[in-house]
Amino acid sequence: MSYRLAFVSSSLASLLFVGCGPSGGSGAGCKDKLIAGDLVITEVFADFQAPTGGSGVDEGKEWFEVYNASDRPLELEGLTLVHSRPDGSKSKSHEMTTVTIAPGQFLVLGNSAADLLPPYVDYGYSADLGELFNTDGGLLALKCGSTEIDSAQYNTVKSGHSRELTSAQPPDYTVNDDLAQWCQGDATEFDPGNFGTPGADNDCTPIVVGQCNDGGTMRDAVAPVPGDLVISEIMTQPSGDDALQEWIELAVVHDVDLNGLGVSRPSTTTGASTVDSPDCIHVTAGSYVVLAKSVDPTMNGGLPPTAIVGTFKGALSLVNGSTGTPGDLQITYNGVALDTVTWTKTTANTALQLDPDLIDTTANDSPSNFCDATAIYDVTSANKGSPGMGNVQCNLLPPAGMCADAGTNRSIVKPAAGQLVITEALANPAGTGTDATQEWFEITNTGAAAFDLNELTLKGTSTTNAIAVSDCVSVTAGGFAVFAHSTDPTANGGLPAVAATFTFALATTASVLDGTTVLDQATWSTGTAPDGKSRQLKTANTNPADNDVTTNFCDAQATQTYGTTTNLGTPGLANVCP
């Protein structure tokens, strides 16, 4: 927004004449007839940020800016500049020499000698005002004799950043009396490492709690209440940098402003973030909007720019979820929780989406109402999700602790202690490049009753994969279950039915967990067997203790062929060791 007048002379030099710096002056008052409000103090730069290896001295680098709010050129000869602490102590002054400022124009006054002015300073007052204060604030005043034309305080100085009067309205000598109408210059770099707008319109608007700038007019923000916003999609594990590519989607139920929205993890007191902006972040009912770690598509993983309405920063980081340690997220406003979700699984490069039929702050309390996204939104990294758009239908999981048995939900039957035993593994399939597709391992149910694999977790050396499926995956008494990289027999080497898949590489160990409880962990060695032979636990040693001893395993025999490959083993069948 520009406040300069369209009829300003094409040559500023014809209206603005820089004097020779400090003047003894008579103190009798101004040459021109000035009244209160003709001049407005609009910006203060108190602490220069020196480049690496440079001097941190502010001499010749400090400045403040005034604006001609009148409708005529003003001659400033005789105007007294006064600098002090906010209470008037430590006062110093300077009487200006001949200089004219056009209507609607800015004049930058700096602590430089007239012959050493930086390019962004118009008038030098040398060292007459002393150094601008970096801490505890200061007061600048413009006077004609005893008549004050304008004054303004400055505070909260940050090195390398000016303090700017709000750009939400034309500069006004009463508005600049309110410290809440000042903000930190961050957008425009006028000198390497230093930010501000010397001689130009200011470019920031202060954040006023409960208010926002709507097209140049400050108004009360439309505060969201519970039910107005629904957490509808979460990307916790993007392919790139989590600190830049995590994001959250909100489904908007009613028109609200997001200014002041809090984003946090309720399970921890650290990492909260607030969506702050001086401009109104207005969102409309029926839309889907994204809060991201970055607004730059080259940094955030290719998120659609039009979908991003704000950022969540600071230490807040979304976490992967598991049955034992769920991930969590909460949005708040003025300390009131608007919506909270948890999740019990995470798939790499894949967002969790709330079923579109369940856009509700109660329905999204259930992790089973979320599913993995399938559409790719970033072709460069194959990240999946629908940021800023409606979600696809989910093949919904039953509620936690239940599975679907012939279309009817029932409680999951967990294996008893010692009932689940890892009995065979193929860690080195035959051929080149087959490990990623043809590895597998097997478990045996040693008990007298069936159990379900649902909600158990498979683990290699460190990576874990949760068994999260709708239908009950049962293992009968004395039965077997095979875990592999793929359920496709043409890809996995012709295995029998695969109960669940895993993504980790098999080495010399595998585990099955219930939450954080290890049901069984087996350890084997590759021995002297060539690739293509499974390691089989001897029948006499089918218990969770004996399969930790590598000598209790044998190599698959030459007669134990299966599937369509040259691999040997007895997947899904009893082992037969010599």
Q: Residue 4 pLDDT more than 50? A: no
| Residue 216 within a domain | no
At residue 541, what are phi and psi to the nearest 5 degrees?
-110, 25
Q: Looking at residue 22, what is its pLDDT?
A: 38
pLDDT greater at residue 400 or residue 82? 82
Mean pLDDT across 329-343? 93
| Residue 317 within a domain | yes
Confidence label for 44 from pLDDT (cuts 50, 70 and 90): very high
Which residue, 407, 308, 389, 315, is CA-closest to 351?
389
Q: Enter the pTM of the model.
A: 0.49
Q: Residue 575 pLDDT more than 80? A: yes
Q: Residue 10 pLDDT more than 50? A: no
Q: What is the pLDDT of residues 369-387, one digit of tens each?
A: 899 999 999 878 789 999 9
Cα angle value 248/253/256 (rounded, 5°)? 85
Q: Which residues pair with 522 in a beta bridge?
A: 510
Structure letter (DSSP) for residue 438: H
| Residue 492 within a domain | yes
Q: Looking at residue 70, what is its pLDDT?
A: 97
Burial 464-502 (b: 16+ CB within 10 A, else e): bbbbbbeebbbbeeeebbbbbbbeeeeebbebbebbbeb
Residue located via tokens 């508005």: 175
Q: In this structure, are 346 and 432 located in the same domain?
A: no
Q: What is the pLDDT of residues 68-101, one digit of tens each?
A: 999 999 999 999 999 999 999 999 999 999 999 9
Mean pLDDT across 109-136? 94
Q: Residue 267 pLDDT more than 50? A: yes
Q: What is the pLDDT of residues 133-157, one digit of tens each?
A: 999 999 999 999 999 999 999 998 9
Q: Domain span at residue 469?
A: 420-555
Q: In this structure, are 118 and 257 located in the same domain?
A: no
Contact between residue 534 and residue 424 where contact means Cβ atoms under 8 Å apart: yes
| Residue 165 within a domain | yes
Q: Which CATH number covers residue 436?
A: 2.60.40
Q: Looking at residue 17, what is its pLDDT?
A: 36
Q: In this structure, are 524 and 485 located in the same domain?
A: yes
Q: Looking at residue 286, what is its pLDDT?
A: 95
Contact between residue 447 and residue 415 where contact means Cβ atoms under 8 Å apart: yes
Q: Out of 157-161, 268-272, 510-514, pick the least confident.
A: 268-272
The percentage of the chain sitting over the pLDDT mark of 70, rounded to a whole number, equals 93
Q: Are strands 247-252 and 376-378 parallel, antiparallel or unpaired?
A: unpaired
Q: Looking at residue 278, what is its pLDDT?
A: 78
Report d(CA 463, CA 248) in Å as an integer.
25
Report d(CA 31, CA 24) in Å as an integer.
15
Confidence label for 526 from pLDDT (cuts 50, 70 and 90): low
Confidence label for 243 from pLDDT (cuts 50, 70 and 90): confident
Q: Looking at residue 54, what is its pLDDT?
A: 61
pLDDT greater at residue 524 or residue 145? 145
Q: In this structure, are 374 and 476 located in the same domain?
A: no
Q: Looking at residue 20, what is its pLDDT?
A: 35
Q: Which CATH number covers residue 183?
A: 2.60.40.1260
Q: In this structure, are 21 and 135 located in the same domain?
A: yes
- CA 209 to mean position of chain CA atoms: 22
| Residue 177 within a domain | yes
| Residue 76 within a domain | yes
Mapped onto helix, strand or coil, the DSSP state of residue 179 is helix
SS (HEC) of 545-578: CHHHCHHHEEECCCCCECCCCCCECCCCCCCCCC
Q: In this structure, are 23 and 158 located in the same domain?
A: yes
Structure letter (DSSP) for residue 298: H
* Token representation of residue 437: 């597709």
What is the average pLDDT value for the chain, to the nearest integer?
A: 89
Contact between residue 536 and residue 570 where contact means Cβ atoms under 8 Å apart: yes
| Residue 576 within a domain | no
Q: What is the pLDDT of residues 445-461, one digit of tens each?
A: 999 999 999 999 999 98
Confidence label for 18 from pLDDT (cuts 50, 70 and 90): very low
Number of domains in the chain: 3
